[in-house]
Amino acid sequence: MNPWYIEEGEFDPKKLHSRETVYTIGNGYFGTRGTFEEGYPKATPGTLLFGVFDDIAIAKEELANAPDWLTMKLFVNDERFRLDQGKILDYHRILDMQHGILRRDVRWESPGGIRIRITSERFASLADEHVGVIRYSLTAEELPESEEKLDVLIWSALNMTVGNYDLIHWEPVEQRRDGELLWLQSQTRHSSVQLVQTMSFTSRDCEFQKELIRSDTSPSIRIYKDLAVGETMTVEKVVVMYTSRDVEDPLQTAIEHHHQILQSSASPAESSNHYAVLVEGATYVNPCMQVEPFETLLAEHKKAWHEYWQVSDVIIEGDDRAQQAVRYNIYQLRISVSSHDSRYSIAAKGLTGFGYRGHVFHDTEIFMLPYFIYVHPDIARNLLMYRYRLLPAARAKAKSNGYEGAQYPWESTLSGEETTPPAIVHPETGELIPVLNGKIELHITASIAHGIWQYWQFTGDDEFMREYGTELLLYTAEFWASRVVWNPECSQYEIDNVIGPDEWHEHVNNNAFTNHMARWNIQAAIYALRWLKSTAPDKAKALTQQLDLNEKHLAHWHDVITYISIPKDKGTGLIEQFDGFFKLELFDQEKYQGRTASYQAILGMKVVQYYQIVKQADVLMLLTTLDQQFDLKTKKVNWEYYFPITDHDYGSSLTPAFHVILACELGLVETAYQMFMKGALVDLEDQRGNSDEGIHCACAGAVWQAAILGFAGLRFNDDGYTTTPCWPEGWTRLAFTCFYKGKQLSIDLRK
């Protein structure tokens, strides 16, 4: 096993869609699913652009699947190459994570007996985010005795007839050419984002004919060539993409950029040959030039990936499977986020599939943000600036619900409005169910505040905290202070009618995670305000006046901190997940050995709420999120209660890897490793049968946290950092890089 490679040695049509997700390439500006250039029946090609949305009926908007830039059709002696016909003699596909390259090597026999070998390589340039490149090679291996040569036609196109499943978001605006460069201009139907894609299609030698074909939906370039047995032909396709979100004139920018790429990689051919170009019935003869953009662009692309892995790699020695899996999750985190654009964040499925429609959840701050804070703080800052940009919309949501401050939506896109659909078809049961998360799953507001605080503590970015962070903390604290309700019978503040992280239990009161995080949010806001008063008094005064934070107001905040309901047994330290959880029926999981669905799917949405069975870490997530507020005894007693009643297999993909941190603290090494691999392989092995919808990005972030905060035991304090390694069987080394207050730390642990 090469721990830098994700490989498959045979083609299995049953895994078509999940493999499309797994073999996604991307660079943060766009992600392209791992579909085949030549297509396949019922394939789901997808290229999603960072922050490019279009309207939909129920969930307001979704990332709009762009025209497919991969399309290449191959014909040999009038027989079309396709994997669902003829015979596959050999098949091998590799995602080279070290260099961000997807390669495929196929030996194929046509129905007519022609044997050929096809090699394709593609990448989304990390050095030039607007560029996608394909190199496609064909070798004639064997012909029937009746045939002397191979007539080859390779047809490269931009294909507009793709959508988010059955919904097509783009419509053509214009399609023309600039020399041998074809361009397609399209526009989203409702949001009116313009996209320009330019395409060049070149061959390494001049013994070919080229034809340019205009089309509003599938402009194409065809190359014709004769091959003898043993001969190889290679073509290179370059596509450049710009949108109206990027530049004022995407058409001119894309054309100029593309011509520059071709010119920088062109040199006169050794021969004085010419080749013919057919355009709309007219034939032109052009001098042969050696144009090889692939290698030129590849060198820059490899350099960019090398720089990424220099600081991002987590080295595990003694366990190649774990090493491969952790790198895969780190690869996914990078291709899902822009390195510079703060107008959008990381979606639950990144740019790899249509699941959750590109919406942003608390997954970003709780599961993914820590990786970027520790390793790429500049990107972490952008992710938090996304939330700050949406602060006015969060304030509007709070006001519309009758509260003060800022209430962040459970799902969001660009505007900051709530984009959680009111109802969905349950993915397991097929029933139409109401979705209450947008109305009563509130803890995302505190999760965002926690992300702000973490970023400040680890980066020391006082400028960010002065200009943006403190304001967000104050507004979110004000929301919680207005959301609590005083219960005179118990003499405590309560937060009623919510959904906690365990989404199988709805309309609960005093969810432990929500209440603890709300209290923490108010405490952090008070601390930040004191800091601001001492470092930027004018800014503090302006915010104090803006929120009317007078003495009476702040006194209420302190009362909430003191008297908010925290359901916990003072003797044992056991925390009740919400009011009445311990009174629910115990659930016998032994009856469902061998199941292939979640307990919610088996029991139904209503019945599952009567039982002590948990979808995902709730109390246990609290113990890791606010790690320093709980002692080891409290962690142990809650682990022993909640870990056995959590659905680790078909509940949520978010938390198996998150459990690793607690398990390592408690010395449960074997359990920690099992949970780590369950999270690390969730997509590579399609463990939950839903990877076709996209990568589990939050799980990817949790895997990184599991390795660094769990097995390495990394912790920071006023004196620096400490590590408390927890070594799974076979592991002999764990090395990684992180940043703390601007200083790069290279940590190399050896058993």
Contact 682, 696 (CB under 8 A): yes
Task: Estimate to the nearest angstrom the gap between the alpha carbon of 470 and the chain centroid.
Answer: 28
Q: What is the dihedral of CA 333, 336, 339, 344, to 10 degrees?
A: -130
Select from 330, 170, 338 the least CA-distant residue to 706.
330
Q: Apex CA 44: angle with CA 40 and CA 49, to 5°?
A: 130
Amino acid letter, 280: E
DSSP 566-618: --B-TTT-PBPSSTTGGGSBP--GGGGTT--S-HHHHH-TTGGGGBS-BSS-S
Measure the CA–CA gap between 391 and 546, rounded to whole angstroms: 14
What's the Cα-to-Cα distance from 169 to each of 5, 61, 166, 192, 240, rounded to whole Å? 34, 10, 10, 10, 20
603 touches 589 (CB < 8 A): no
Q: Nearest CA to 103 among 94, 111, 116?
A: 94
Question: From CA 196, how far away is CA 240, in angstroms rounded?
Answer: 8
Query: Sign (positive/negative) of CA torsion 42, 48, 52, 58?
Result: positive
DSSP-assigned letter for residue 53: E
Measured distance CA(206)–CA(204) in Å, rounded: 7
Which tokens go with 161?
């007839």
Catalytic residue among 180, 365, 503, 693: 503
Specify whether the CB–CB gap between 679 and 703 falls below 8 A.
yes
Reading the block at residue 245, the tokens are 């979100």
Sign of CA dihedral 142, 144, 148, 150: negative
Q: Dihedral sign, CA of 354, 355, 356, 358?
A: negative
76 neighbors 110 (Cβ within 8 angstroms): yes
Handedness of CA 247, 364, 406, 58 (dihedral sign): positive
The single-letter code of the amino acid at 114 is I
Distance CA 270, CA 259 (A): 22
Tabulate helix, strand, coil % of the chain (nearest 5): 35, 25, 40
CA angle 583, 587, 590 (to 5 degrees): 160
Cβ neighbors of 587 (< 8 A, separation 6 or more) are: 599, 611, 612, 613, 645
Q: Is 503 a catalytic residue?
A: yes
> What gap in Å lies between CA 384 and CA 413, rounded to an integer?
14
Alpha carbon distance 6, 477 (integer Å) = 45
Find, among 232, 111, 94, 244, the residue nearest to 170 by Cα. 244
Which residues are known catalytic residues? Answer: 503
